[in-house]
Each structure stands twice: as C-alpha cells, then as structure tokens.
Structure 1
Amino acid sequence: MPTFTGLLILSIFVTSGLCAVYQQLSDLKQDRFDFVVVGGGTAGAVVASRLSEVEKFQVLVIEAGPSNEGVLNSQVPLLAFDIQHTPYDWNFTTTPQKFANGRTVSYSRGFMLGGTSSTDLMVFTRGTTDDYDRWARVTGDPGWSWDQMFPYFIKNERFMPPTDGRNITGEYDPTIHGYDGMTRVSLVNEVQNPFESNVFAAADELGGNFQFNLDMNNGTLLGTAWVQGTNGGGERSSSATAYLTRQILGRKNLHVLLNTRTTRIQRSKTSSSDGPEFDKVEVVGNGWPRLFRATKEVILSAGSIGSPHILFHSGIGDAQELESVGIKPRVNLPSLGKNLTDHPFLLMVFEANTTEPNIFANSTLLAEAFEEWNSSRTGPLANIPSANIIYGRLPTNLPFDDPSPGPNTGHWELVLSLNRRPTATPQVIAAISIVSPTSRGTLTINSSDPFDSPLIDPTFFATPGDIAIARDAVRNVRKFFAAKSWEGYITSETPPSAGADSDDELDAFISGNFTTTWHPGCTAMMSPKGADYGVVDPDLKVKGIRGLRIVDASVMPFLISGHLLAGIYAIGERAADMIKQDWMS
C-alpha cells in the first residue's frame, strides 16, 4: 500500500502558479506587512484569510512546510493514515514516558500548508457546552462560552450530504449546523452493513453510556453517534483547501510563503514605545536568514509545539530555564510550555466473521475504488476511517474528583471501525481516547539552536484518574461487543489486550501499548487579564508584550473533550474578529 500511494503522490503533484504563493524565500521581495502570521496551519490559515478580507491590510503567512496541493494521501480521506511519518510530518518524538517504563511515543504534527488539518484523521467534534463554559469561567471572558462560540462554529462549517446521495435523515440534527461556511463537513459516504447496523443495535440494547445520540456536535458528547468528518464533497477539507482557496489566494494583499522556517521573533522597541514591541520575524529559507517586519501585529499560529518553541528561542519563557541553555531572557513567562495536555490513545482489536470487503487487502478492489473516487469522489475512499463514535463516563461515586468539566462531557471516547489494513482474517478496531485527562506535561528546550527539536513530555497517565478512565474504557469496549447484535460477528479479542482482566493486568496492557491521539494543547494557556499566571490574556495577546498574539490550540486553558479541529477553527474565527475590531475601530 505505501508503494501504491507513493507513486500516486508523485504522478499528480503540481506546483501552485498563483502569484500570492511563494515557494521559496528569495521569491518574496516585500519585507513589511501589517500582519505577519507565523504558521499556515489550522488557525493560521483562518486568521490570514479573514484579515485579508480587509483590503487595506497587508498580510503575510509564513509556513515551514510545502504546499498541500497534489498530495494524494492528504486529499483522499481513507488514505489519512498514510500521510504520517512522511516528509509532510514534523516527525517529533516524546521524551521517555515514566508510565510506559521509559518508552517514547511518536508525535505526528502536520508539516505542510494547512498544518495538522492536512494530516489528521478528520473527525469533527466541537466539544461540549461544559468545555467552553469552563473556558469562559477560568478566563473571566464570557466570549469563550458555548453560546458565544456557537456562531463561530456555524461560520466555519459548510455541512453537506454524502457524495453518494444516500438519505441521512435521523443521522444528524440539521438545525445545529452551518451550510455557508468554509470547512466542508459530512457523514459517511458509504454505509458498511452489517457493521454499522450492529453498532446501533448494540446501542439500543445496552443504553446507558451507549444510548443513541442524534448529533455529536449538539454540545453533549455522550452516547453513540454517526461520525462527522471534514470529508465533505468526498475529499479532505483542510484549512488550506477551505480558507486558502485559489480565489482567496488571488487577493493582492495576501502573501503565502512556503518552505520557510521561523526561528525567532525579535524585539525592536521597548514596552513604553508606540507600535508593536516584538515586530521582527526572523526566518531561514534555502539556508539564508531574513527578517520580516509587522507594523501592526505578529500572530503566532505555529501550533501547541511550534509556538512555544519559537517563543523560547526569542527569549520569552521561564527566565532561569532560558539562561540554563544559553538564551538571554527578554520576557519572563514561567507558564509557557508548563501545561501540555494530550489525549492518550489505545487500540483494541477483535476478530470478526464478516464478508464485508476490505479494499486494502485486494489490489483489484483498491484500483477500482481509486478510479471511482478519482471520477466522482464517491466510494469507500471518500470516507474517513470510521463511521461510528461513542462517548462515555465513569460510574458515579468516584474515589477522586470528577476530571470532566461537567455532566455533558465524556471521560473516554471509542471510535469504531473495520480494520482497513490487510489481515489474515477480518477485524474490528476500537480506538480508545482518554478525553478528560488530568495529567499535565511540559514542553521545553535543551539547546539554543532553534533547529533542534523541543523536548515534548506529555507525562501520560501521571494520575490515578487517567488510569481508571482507561481501564473503564477497555471494560466498556468488551461490554459493547458482548451485546446480542454482535453474536456470530465478533469471534474473539486479540492480543495484547486479550486476557487482561484484573486492574494490574489492564495497567500492564495500557502501559505497554498506549500512544497519543495527537491532540496536544494548552502550552500557552489563556488566563484572566492581569493574572500572574498563564501566557495569553483572553484576547490572546501575550501577557506583558505589545503587538504579539497567539492563535492556535496552545491557548486552550483546558483541552476540549473531543477532537480539537472544530475548536481550533472557532478560535481562529473569533481571534480574527478580535484583531479586526482592534485595528478597524
């Protein structure tokens, strides 16, 4: 399979000929802009696109990676797994994890225009009312509440029916979606029966944690639902394809610079001077350094890993830690990088008795599926890897404080699918994500060289609560597949989870096999204006610095309890409005 898709990537790759897109640093002659957006990822593309709607604003986007155009593994939804561990991935690795007995974890982040929205698995969940109301509560800004963020969900979304035209009545709530936005969202294109029918039959039989939820984006992430994904129109809708379309890139005031690494942000003025304080962006491209100047704001959108990394090398962070690696401190922000939060991930695999076709196990079927997708954007390749999702909660009367933000929010998530990889016999996969973790890690550096990778330590499973959630999730997977609807379909559980029953056995399985859902956040968390902790104020301006804002998942004070994509889009949309209000009033 990798060879097949690799050849397809090479065969259809094209280079953008648009004048607003610069493939290398030397192509861009202009040095001064109103806004310099560092990072063309999920939020960065949103902010740049929205700011360039104002004709008088000159906007530059600096993206470390290449274009997203023509990268088939990014474009075809069901090939999403094949974009990881390629040149389009930063290919980070965590530090050795204590709970894993020193094992490191691969840490994929998108390295191309669109960032991780161009490389993720495209599950689209907004989070819950509890998530955003907690943001509003801890930041002191009601603008981050669910009710006030909801218009930004609608503004971002262009919900559309599956490309095969099937009837999706009863699989979503049409009253809570946007139909004129930017990101194309849809349901599964092709139903895999009897798998999907068994899922909902089991949900009806078991109830409780598994009760049917009409729409997982209604603010209550509990129960069993149809997955919504960013595969509207039968192909990936990323921030690059949605917010940086050819029409938008044709704006004379928008400039997108690719293949260029931002190394530092430099201070040119004191805090008492007029204009932005840190206004010079130092970049390297084709081996050559250069400075770009922002006359209004520098907007960091390099992600939860990239944004703190750039700030550290700019002399912003914990002063003692910076001095210890030979960096002169410019602004002391001890909270930077200190709140790294992620959703741990586990896989359970079950043997299945089914004749449902697996296109990846048959080269003829795969070629036929690609021809169908290429001609009409229909068929199995138009789907994201899963059609069904379940969110559940721990039992009441816990021996520790409830780690979730409220009763509408799950502690764990199950994403269910047929195994799309070639195997000797058919298999069903249950992917577990711990969506209300209490463990907190760190992002740091041990070198003054900005090209050295940061030290990523999510500190997975550092608390008893996170381990208890994982155990509960495993036991609920087994309960779900023991439902009557699966009789004769699920035949056995496979190693390494099979046979792990006691708490100690489950802990050993979790320790030896967990990875990440690739949902890092909170490394530049929001806190109330004037607070002596946190990194940004609720308007996303970096504390104590004029003219510098952060807009990405790093500003989340707590992770949302689902997949991060929809929340990051909403952050980007709200941030763009706040920036416009500051500079157009």
Structure 2
Amino acid sequence: VIVGGGTAGCVLAYRLSESATNTVLLIEAGPPISGLMSRIPAALDFALHDDRFNWCYTTDPEPYMGNRRMSCPRGRVLGGSSSINGMQFVRGNPNDFDSWAAKGLDTWSYSHCLPYFKRMERFQRGGDDYRGDHGPLHVSPASIQTPLDQAFLDAALQAGHGYSEDNNGFRQDGFGLSDKNTYRGRRWGAFDAYLKPALKRENLHVETDCLTHRIIFDKKSAIGVEYDLRGEVIQVYAEKEVLISGGSINSPHLLLLSGIGDTEQLKHHGLPVVQHLPGVGKNLQDHLDLRIQVKCKEPVSHFPSTKGIGRLAAGLRWLVTRSGVCATNLLDVAGYICSRAELEFPNIQSTFMAIAASYDGSHSFAGHGYQAHIDLMKPTSRGSIKLQSANPKKAPSILFNYLQAEEDRRAVIEGFKLTRVLLAQQSFDKFRDGELLPGSSVNTDEEILAWAKVSGETEY
C-alpha cells in the first residue's frame, strides 16, 4: 500500500509493480492530471492557481518575514508537485552528497548516487560519464530564447563568474543553460515517466480523490491505512508494507494523525500515542526566492506573449508545433555561485527570466522587463510541521522560519549585491531602463533585509 501518488509514489508504484508477485495499491488524495494548461510549460502560473491540483497551503505567520502568511503550493494530483512545479531539473551539488557520506551515510555519496541519476534520466543531448540517455525521465536542455537571455549569460562572464557547459554534469559552479523536465515541448513529470506506463499492469491499482486519514497499526507494526473513498471511510490492509510518500508536508502530517510523534502534541489533540518520536515534523526547511526586476527599453522580452493577440499566437504555435515561448518554462539561463570567497561550494542559485513577473503571475509589470532571481540553496533556518486538529481534513500548521538564521540573512544580502553587480554589466546597457523592484531606495544591508522580508517567497 503506497500513500501519496506524487513523485516518489509514482516511482514506487512503477518499480514495485514490475514484479508480478506484488499487488500494489496507490492511494492519491487528488485527481488524475488533466487539462491543456497543465501540459504547457509556460503556463506554470495556471498550475499554481488551480486548486484542483494544488493543496494551496499557507504557512503560519512567518516571524522573520513580517508575520506574513506565505504561499506553500504542493501538488495534490497524480505526479504530485512534478505536475505543477517550474520543471527545473537540478540534481544538487556533488559536495552535498559527499558531505552526507562523510557523516556516516556511505550510500549517499555522489559517486554512489551517480549511476542512479543516469539510470533515471533520458537527456536530450545524449549520455556521457555524468548523464543518462535511456531512463524514463526526459530532460531537455534550454536554449537562448531572447537577446535578454544572452545578455544575462554574457553579464555573468563579464562580472567574473565561470561558465558551465552542464550544471548537472562535471561542474555545477558557474552559469549556463538550464535543464528542464519537458519533452517535445510539454511538461514531463513523474506521472508521465513512471506511473502512466505502469497503469496497464493488472497488479497495480490506483485510487484517486481519496484522502488517507491514518495508518493502521498492530502494536508497533503498520499493517494498513484508513482512507476516504469518495465519502465512504474504508480500511485496507497490506500483506507486505505500508509506504508513506506524501512529501515533506503531508508525510509528517499523516504520521502525527496516526499517533507517531511528540507525545505532548498528540495528547493535546486527543490522539492515542503509538510511538513517541519527537523528531516528526521537525527540521523543516525551504529555499527562499527573491527577484530584482528591471524595466527594459527594447521590445525584446516575453511580455507580448502574455496578453491579447501575442498570447493567442504563442498558444497557437504551441498547439501546432510544440515550440516557441510556450514550450519553455522561461527559466532558460541559470548559475550557481558562492556569495563569498571562503565558501567551498555554491549557496546561491541565480536564475533569469526575460519578463518581469512573479511565478504565479500575481505581481507582474505591464510592459517589457526582465528579472534575476536570488535563491538560497543551503538555508540554515529550520521550521516545523504540527497538527492544528485531529481532523485529517484540516491542514497542518506549517512554519518554515525563513530568515531565522544569521547565515541566511547574510546570504540574502550578499546574493542581492552580487546580482545587482551582474545586472549592471555592459551587456545590459542597451536594455536597462531603471530598476523596478526593489528600486534605488534599497541599498544598505538593513534596507535589503527589510525588502526581503516583505518580498521573499518560496522557491518551491
């Protein structure tokens, strides 16, 4: 029994049902993915607004972000968050994996994980020592879409940053073209790569629109789950295992609802304690995203494709040829940099969009513009998932504590200054027409942090 049909759940269902001796039940709270907009890479803002496929969580008031309740989008659909996210394909820095191995997790070294990375992917440019070309997950390299994309890449080199031929290959550090989970111009998520090919197997059963209420235990052993099957609460029992793959929000939430967690919290909500495990829901972390927006004096951005006839033309081109601006997630150039010299490997992801807009489209400049993103790759602030109620239909308490740690605040300030230097390079001279956000009034460390608190959002 697998609870959660997201990225991990799709992989588990595919792999476990390969053996005819296994009978697999996959339970997903959301529906199957559907609709044209869910397939168009550039329409990712529609996915983030669509509550059919999104849990639409919000955080508790974030104490270091002006007590804002911040958006926390999570996929509630087959394929999970891979069905609604920004489609960027980033493995992570090899040093991250090796640092885990150095702490005793030998099988998490980069050299040990690399064969699995290669087995997973089907890289459009072909395989090599670092990339795979026979896996189920299509990975497509980006291409330069506008003169602004090229200007950003040139600016990075002019500012003294390195160049990377492949950020997921030999060298992550530096700037280059990004990779994305698209195939022939459309989104390619975990559902497409893993679950869809397995649906024809008679030993795999998939239940959608079914909210799991709790794990059923026999003493200390998980033996089944209780879930809502379209209004009817039923129980199902596993002959072998119960696998929880609800992601970083819903997995700890389900464990808590099932009596696994801190005794005091469980008793407060009237839940029987199966196991006192105070770490459940702790150590929550997320990548904060900030963006500097600039007005563009040349008509070379993606803005015309967002409205009116331009939008219609872009959509028609995608329908006919699966190409053009709609076939990209707009994040075609990316870099990985250290915010200061003494760091051993990158702590900032720097991405670029040839349009001035937020990820969900809610804060967009009505004109030609561009923006550079400052994303914290190694946040040290920690939050938690807690129960708000014993009712499984009630969302959990989510608190990331963004910018709680001094190191994160320092990285924001350093990353902001580096990004401004990059955007001030010669390659942007013919395009730059003044900074839109945060504007010329933000300069000191205190002003940068004050702006970050009111403008930062999840990198998701």
User: SS at 1:354's partner residue?
Assistant: coil
Listed as ranges, the matches of 1:170-181 within 5 Å are 174-181=128-135
Give the 3 Å change call, closer, same or farther, for CA 438–219 of structure 1 in structure 2: farther
Listed as ranges, the matches of 1:336-415 within 5 Å are 336-356=280-300, 358-396=303-341, 407=344, 409-415=345-351
**CA RMSD of superposed structures (Å):** 1.7
The partner residue of 1:214 within 158, 165, 172 is: 165
The CA distance in 1 between the partners of 2:262 and 2:386, in whole Å, is 10
Query: 2:369 maps to what in 1?
Result: 427
Query: 1:483 maps to what in 2?
Result: 425
Query: 1:86 maps to what in 2?
Result: 50
Query: 2:110 maps to what in 1?
Result: 146
Instruction: Verify the 8 A CA contact 2:339 2:418 in the aligned structure 1.
Output: no
Amino acid at match of 1:126: R
The CA distance in 2 between the partners of 1:159 and 1:75, in whole Å, is 19
The CA distance in 1 between the partners of 2:356 and 2:405, in whole Å, is 34
User: SS at 1:485's partner residue?
Assistant: helix
Amino acid at match of 2:184: G
Instruction: Verify the 8 A CA contact 2:121 2:137 in the aligned structure 1.
Output: yes
Amino acid at match of 2:350: L
The CA distance in 2 between the partners of 1:103 and 1:196, in whole Å, is 33
1:314 and 2:258 equivalent? yes
User: SS at 2:30's partner residue?
Assistant: coil
The CA distance in 1 between the partners of 2:146 and 2:286, in whole Å, is 33
Displacement of 1:199 in angstroms is: 2.1
Displacement of 1:141 in angstroms is: 3.0
Structure 2 unpaired stretches of 5+: 358-363
Query: 2:137 maps to what in 1?
Result: 183
Displacement of 1:64 in angstroms is: 0.3
The CA distance in 2 between the partners of 1:301 and 1:346, in whole Å, is 29
User: SS at 2:25's partner residue?
Assistant: strand
Query: 1:159 maps to what in 2?
Result: 123
Amino acid at match of 2:137: T
Instruction: Verify the 8 A CA contact 1:231 1:384 in the aligned structure 2.
Output: no
Amino acid at match of 1:465: E
Query: Structure 1 or 2: larger strand share?
Result: 2
Structure 1 unpaired stretches of 5+: 1-35, 162-171, 272-276, 519-585
Identical residues among aligned pairs (%): 31
Displacement of 1:173 in angstroms is: 8.5
Query: 1:508 maps to what in 2?
Result: 450
Query: 2:214 maps to what in 1?
Result: 264
1:248 and 2:198 equivalent? yes
Q: Provide, for residues 283-303 of structure 1, a one-character-per-residue CA deviation record: whole Å limited to 9, x for no partner.
A: 012221001111111111000
The CA distance in 2 between the partners of 1:394 and 1:173, in whole Å, is 32
Displacement of 1:305 in angstroms is: 0.4
Listed as ranges, the matches of 1:197-208 within 5 Å are 197-207=150-160
TM-score with structure 2 setting the length: 0.94
Give the 3 Å change call, closer, same or farther, for CA 295–219 of structure 1 in structure 2: farther
Displacement of 1:203 in angstroms is: 2.5
Q: Provide, for residues 490-509 of structure 1, a one-character-per-residue CA deviation record: whole Å limited to 9, x for no partner.
A: 12111334321111111111
Tell which deviates more after alignment, 191-200 or 250-259. Answer: 191-200
1:110 and 2:69 equivalent? no
User: SS at 2:215's partner residue?
Assistant: strand
The CA distance in 2 between the partners of 1:178 and 1:84, in whole Å, is 30
The partner residue of 1:442 within 378, 381, 384 is: 384
The CA distance in 2 between the partners of 1:517 and 1:59, in whole Å, is 34
Instruction: Verify the 8 A CA contact 1:261 1:283 in the aligned structure 2.
Output: yes
Q: Provide, for residues 301-333 of structure 1, a one-character-per-residue CA deviation record: whole Å limited to 9, x for no partner.
A: 000001010000100011121112211110111
Instruction: Verify the 8 A CA contact 1:133 1:144 in the aligned structure 2.
Output: yes
Instruction: Give aligned pairs, total.
Output: 452
